[in-house]
Structure 1
């Protein structure tokens, strides 16, 4: 069974609180969730990655293409894994909320590579985190 961490430390808690207070950091297509963190997997994973030291941290970036699970599915899910191979997914309200096939995901870089996107930069600057 995969260990899933949704709030592994104070930084993760701060990031989740920020997204809940500023749901506009999510893409508009994910605005239908009651809890804003559920539509913010990319910006949360990216912001946490950079706040922990980016490529100098023990974190690895993963992307799950939902069409790899079922061809009729759309979208993707982003999360991190640490050196212990635990999943770090700040976009889940609780570890039990994640009915995610973790092992289907592929290791990769973020869309912007290893430079923070504009949305992640906004979060990092607001919380005085990151490089």
Structure 2
């Protein structure tokens, strides 16, 4: 079973709270959940990656295309890996990751490559510490 971390440290906690306080930071296609964290996988993964040092962080970026799991599914899910552990700040708790097919995801860069997107910059600027 894969270890899933949703709040591995204070930075993750701050980013999750930022998304809850600023739900508009989510992509416009994903603004329906009661808890905004549930629909903020991309911005949370991207912001955490950069806050932890970017390409020097030791974190790997992964994207799961749901259509690879089932042709009737749509969308993607972004998360990070720290060795064998999954770092997914968009899950409510680790048990929510028990049914995610982590092995179907592919390693890749973010849509903006290794430069923070505008939404990511907003989240990073809200952190108490420098990134």
TMscore range, shorter length: over 0.9
C-alpha separation between the residues in 1 aligned to 2:130 and 2:63?
Answer: 22
- The residue number in structure 2 matching 1:57 is 57
Establish whether residue 100 from structure 1 lines up as the match of residue 100 from structure 2: yes
Shift of 1:127: 1.7
Q: Number of paired residues?
A: 130
Distance 1:42 1:129, change over 3 A: farther
> Alignment RMSD, CA only?
1.0
Write out aligned runs for 1:1-131 (5 A): 1-83=1-83, 85-98=84-97, 99-129=99-129, 131=131
Shift of 1:126: 2.0
Measured against aligned partners, the alpha-carbon deviations of 1:107-130 in whole angstroms (never above 9, x if no partner) come to 000000000001001110122555
Q: TM-score, normalised by structure 1?
A: 0.95
Q: Secondary structure at the match of 2:78?
A: strand
Structure 1, unmatched stretches of 5+, are none
Shift of 1:30: 1.1
Q: TM-score, normalised by structure 2?
A: 0.95
Q: 4+ residue stretches of structure 1 with deviation over 2 A?
A: 128-131
Structure 2, unmatched stretches of 5+, are none
